Amino acid sequence: MRILEIVALFIMSYILGSVPFSYLIPKLLTGIDIRKFGSGNVGATNATRATNLYVGLLCASCDIGKAILPTFIALMAFGWGYIPLLIGIAAVSGHDHSIFMKFKGGKGVATTLGVVFVYSPLTGTIFVVIWLAIVILSQYASLASLIAMIFAAASIMVDFPIRTDIIVKILFLLLAGLVFYQHRENIKRIAKGTESKIDLFKYAKKRLRRNRK
């Protein structure tokens, strides 16, 4: 096995995953440090709350892309199997524990979605549809992420061409588990009824203003 190539890809994936787009984009466009806004989370949802829906979508797209790129490169190099998934997990780990943000970061939903898209574009698309539907109906982004993640993990368990690879299945369950772990405080707040809501239509209408403080 080409160990050095795998190690190099893993490190590259972690570093790329560590790039905090959801911090950099709002900072560059508005001057807002989203770590000082809302939940303080460096993710697309908090970027949306701090700015508007369009900035949030740009952040989410970049966070998805930074997982798609290394995972797809690994897929082309090593084929279907667990190695590209390990590379994708490195990107998610970088997002959750960024080397550029003192090993803090986001919840890993968008980067996990990027990995899912590489393995199953259909599952990734349905993930987005489920997420949007639940957010619109409940206004809980965290709840939407968790339910969509359950669907994605269940779907991957039976999806061609990886349905016979037990290691891939285990790693996808691990990936889903990481998302749930990152949302552990959100789960507690949902249970207590104190979780913050997000109205996508409100933030779609919100104007982009540069913070001059």
Interval 171-179 mean pLDDT: 91
- Is the model's pLDDT at 194 over the cut of 50? yes
Boundaries of domain holding 117 = 3-97+106-204
Note whether residue 8 is domain-resident.
yes
The pLDDT tens digits for 84-95 are 999 999 999 999
The pLDDT tens digits for 20-77 are 999 999 999 989 999 988 777 899 999 998 888 999 999 999 999 999 999 999 999 8
Note whether residue 213 is domain-resident.
no
pLDDT range class, residue 213, cuts 50, 70, 90? very low
Note whether residue 35 is domain-resident.
yes
Interval 186-193 mean pLDDT: 91
Note whether residue 211 is domain-resident.
no
- Is the model's pLDDT at 200 over the cut of 90? no
pLDDT range class, residue 1, cuts 50, 70, 90? low
Backbone angles phi, psi at 41, to 5 degrees: -75, 135
User: What pLDDT, on the 0 to 100 scale, is given for residue 3?
Assistant: 86
Interval 186-205 mean pLDDT: 88
The pLDDT tens digits for 93-148 are 999 999 999 999 999 999 999 999 998 898 899 999 999 999 999 999 999 999 99
CB atoms < 10 A from the CB of 201, how many? 10
C-alpha atoms less than 13 angstroms from C-alpha of 134 in its C-beta half-sphere: 17
Looking up tokens 């899912």 gives: 116
Note whether residue 212 is domain-resident.
no
Note whether residue 210 is domain-resident.
no
CA distance 53 to 49: 8
The tally of domains found in the chain comes to 1
pLDDT range class, residue 169, cuts 50, 70, 90? confident
Note whether residue 49 is domain-resident.
yes
Note whether residue 146 is domain-resident.
yes
